[in-house]
Amino acid sequence: MYRKQVRRRRAVLVLLVVACLMLISISISEADSGPLHRVQNGVSAVLNPIGEGASRALKPARDLVNWFDETLAARGENDDLRQQVADLRAELTETQDAAEKAGYADDLKKLMGSSGLDAYEPVDATVTAHSTSTWYGSIRIDKGSDDGIAVNDSVVTSQGLVGRISNVGGGFADVGLLTDGTSANAVTARISGKGPVGTVTPVVGAPGKLEFTLIEGGGEFDEGDELVTASFQIQGDRRSIYPEGIPVGEVDQAVPAEQDVQDPVRITPFANFDDLNEVTVLTGGPG
């Protein structure tokens, strides 16, 4: 029974193949006005409108699929572009940081050479915290006694004096800034190249401001004159805790110095106390 069905199916398949070949042969050999071509044209005339209608009906579905494909592709491209922008920003930040550090190192080298601070060992540190008070001026850095830092070590930037170490731990240290109005953080200073000596102190009632008061010497100093630290005896054998020759700031006004003691004059510090990120501690040195 099964074999008869198989033979029957094979015979039908052979007949269909032969019929198709005959129809193809006739279609090729007959003229365009032949019966087969007329049948073909009639079927096409009937089916073409149906195909066009189906195509129009399915167009929204095709458009929706294409929209999803294009949206997903655009999202992928946007993600790639965002990642490229993030990578470029990171590279730019690294380049800027490297340039800033290189510039800071060059400026610090010039400061150390011009100020005669070769006897000190500089320890670069990063500021990790700022005081929140407008009157109490201090910062914390990420280096401490493990790096050779001790209390009263001078702290500078590449522009000039910042302050001194007021407290130290193994891996950190606190810096009392020149602008700290709550501690005796006076700096003995002199007019560079002229010699009048005085003290630089915070201005009472004006946080972040400094003033200079003569304590000895005569002469005159003018607006724009620079102040540097002076290793000068204040009381008995007590000397300034700061090394000599570190730039401090410049005079904001011209004052004739006809007597030993003058009214305080305002000075502008060289260091930018509002933007302290990197500082250098001067460790070791003589005595």
pLDDT tens digits, 202-224:
887 676 788 888 876 555 677 88
The DSSP code sequence of 120-145 is EEEEEEEEEEE---SSS-EEEES--G
Any domain includes 36: no
In a domain, 85, yes or no: no
pLDDT in tens, 145-166: 999 999 999 999 988 899 999 9
* CATH number assigned to the domain comprising residue 142: 2.40.10.340
Query: How large is the average pLDDT for residues 189-214?
Result: 80
pLDDT for residue 92: 72
Domain membership of residue 239 as a residue range? 120-284
Q: Which has more pLDDT, 252 or 113?
A: 252
Q: Please check whether residue 5 lies inside any domain of the structure.
A: no
Strongest mean pLDDT among 31-45, 164-178, 257-271: 164-178
Task: Report d(CA 229, CA 245) in Å as an integer.
Answer: 5
Q: How far apart are alpha carbons 44 and 40 in whole angstroms?
A: 6
Reported confidence tier of residue 123, pLDDT bands at 50, 70, 90:
very high
Mean pLDDT for all residues in the chain: 75
| Beta strand spans in 58-135 (E) | 120-130
Mean pLDDT score, 108-129: 81
62 is a domain residue: no
Is the pLDDT reported for residue 36 higher than 90? no
- On whether residue 191 sits in a domain, the answer given is yes
Number of structural domains the chain divides into? 1
235 pLDDT higher than 90 = no
> CA-CA distances (angstroms) from residue 185 to 157, 177, 231?
17, 8, 15
* Dist. CA 41–CA 155, nearest whole Å: 99
pLDDT tens for each residue of 41-93: 655 565 566 656 666 666 677 777 777 677 777 777 777 777 787 777 777 76
What is the reported pLDDT for 198? 84
Is the model's pLDDT at 199 over the cut of 70? yes
* Cβ neighbours of residue 47 closer than 8 Å, sequence gap 6 or more: none
Judged against a pLDDT cut of 90, whether residue 281 lies above it is answered with: yes
What pLDDT score does 142 carry?
93
The owner of tokens 């049948």 is: 39
- Flag whether 182 is in a domain: yes
Q: Is residue 143 part of a domain?
A: yes
pLDDT score, position 165? 92
User: Residue 162: in which H helix or E strand, if any?
Assistant: strand 161-168
**Can you give the pLDDT at residue 223?**
83
Does position 233 have pLDDT exceeding 60, yes or no?
no
Residue 7 lies in a domain: no
Give the length of the chain: 287
CB atoms within 10 A of CB 231: 13
Confidence of residue 259 (pLDDT cuts 50, 70, 90): very low
pLDDT at residue 15, as a whole number = 77
